[in-house]
Amino acid sequence: AQSVTQLDSHVSVSEGTPVLLRCNYSSSYSPSLFWYVQHPNKGLQLLLKYTSAATLVKGINGFEAEFKKSETSFHLTKPSAHMSDAAEYFCVVSVNDMRFGAGTRLTVKP
């Protein structure tokens, strides 16, 4: 069985400050892990993907995530938030099918 928990339903940061979106996963097998972003009234866009290669994964728009097996975590970070980063972010664990976290809404204040 596999599952994913996003630890914060809402994160608010100021523009130019770091972003941290937290994700813990549970899986009986070595999973693939993803972060997707969803802007209002849009589909999901892939930010980055981990598939057992490098533990630090770089994605689009300056985002990156680190896979920590000992902590079963896959937190998403960005050094400096931009107004356009405001959106819903989903952490996903996948073995046979994709299991989505509940999502974290990121608000960026000017």
Residues lying near another protein in the complex (CB under 8 A): 31-32, 34, 36, 41-46, 49, 90, 94-103
Give the residue from 69, 75, 99, 104 showing the smallest Cα distance to 87: 104
**Is the CB of 103 or the CB of 108 nearer to another protein?**
103
Least gap, CB of 51 to another protein (angstroms):
8
Q: What angle do CA 23, 28, 29 make, to 5 degrees?
A: 90
Contact 11, 73 (CB under 8 A): no
**Is the CB of 44 or the CB of 86 nearer to another protein?**
44
**Is the CB of 86 or the CB of 95 nearer to another protein?**
95
